[in-house]
Amino acid sequence: MTMSIVMTSTTAQRMTFAQRCVLALACMLCVVLSGGCATQTTQTDAFDAPAVTRDGPAPTYAAFAAAHNARVKGLDRLWARAELSLTYTDDEGEVQREEAEANLQYILPRKFSLLISKVGEFYFGFGSNDQKYWWIDVKNSPRTAIVGEHAKATQDKVHRFGLAVLPLELIDALGIAPVRATNAEIKTAWSARGAWMVFREPLAGGLTREWWIETPTMWPGRIRLFDKTGQELIDARFDQFNVVEGSGPPNALSRHPAKIEVRLPAKATTLKLNLNDMQNRGAKAGNAPYELDRLLKAYRIERNIDVDQPLAKPATAQPTGGATR
């Protein structure tokens, strides 16, 4: 029998290895592809290399958009095997390193599935469909599913879910969704040392996203996310843009990053994701990974946590005996 409960504060505070993986992935996937004002980054770091002398202005946003949209044509869906490597500092201050295998699938705009396993045994699942998003844990007892609805999502609920962003924001930061062809408000500039084209855009909730674009390919090498106070939340880096099988003819421009690294500075956590055998299976890509009811039955879920319900308050001791007035 499956029992449904609400999420307690104790449940919300627990974070396993796989939850850290999903947190890092969700942070990387969090950025909505909306336009906004741009400013030049002035911070110099090791990523901004080598130093390049630029004689002219950076390419325009329109030039980036044209190249970007050509690249993502044919990436409306993806199937890939993945290797995960997570480095983090635990509660005792010790640096830990964990590794796992995964299967990653998505169908734009909302269907997403990440299945995490170790030594061929399924442990965790993270996904969404048109209506809901979920986190499934079959490694620990009881087998648990945490489920929420997109329409009821709020930042507070998502934080309790163990993520840092709203679920509808999870897919686009992979850099595979088309962008507007023009946006007069976005002004591009060279990075401090001239190695990258950089522009910024404001996001919902006071967040700011910063793109670092390689020229002349116009591929994103880095995406940084800042909160409304300017604190860096996420530093996601992309490399090795490979042609996706089935995304078009052999000379198609459609390319997807095979190497993704996500850094969470505040949590001293780094996730590395290597994608292999990337394919666009077209009409052959079925809906089974996104059918929540089927997944709950297949993984014999015993406890169903509704993230849209209020946190259960700890019970307070009631006075027993004694006189009352």
pLDDT digit string, tens, across residues 235-266: 889 999 999 999 877 667 789 999 999 888 87
pLDDT of 204 over the 90 cut: no
Model confidence pLDDT, tens digit, residues 101-146 = 999 999 988 899 989 998 889 988 989 999 999 989 998 899 999 9
Q: All domains of the chain, ordered by start, with CATH? A: 25-119+175-300 (2.50.20)
Has residue 33 got a pLDDT over 50?
no
pLDDT band per the 50, 70, 90 thresholds, residue 13: very low
pLDDT at 9 over 80: no
Give the 3-state DSSP-derived string for the chain, with helices as H, strands as E and coil as C. Answer: CCEEEECEHHHHHCCCHHHHHHHHHHHHCCCCCCCCCCCCCCCCCCCCCCCCCCCCCCCCHHHHHHHHHHHHCCCCEEEEEEEEEEEEECCCCCEEEEEEEEEEEEECCCEEEEEEEECCEEEEEEEECCCEEEEEECCCCCCEEEEEEHHHCCHHHHHHCCCCCCHHHCCHHHCCCCCCCCCCCCCCEECCCCCCEEEEEECHHHCEEEEEECCCCCCEEEEEEECCCCCEEEEEEEEEEEECECCCCCCCCCEEEEEEEEEEHHHCEEEEEEEEEEECCHHHCCCHHHCHHHHHHHCCCCEEEECCCCCECCCCCCCCCCCCC
Least confident residue range of 132-136, 151-155, 214-218, 291-295:
151-155
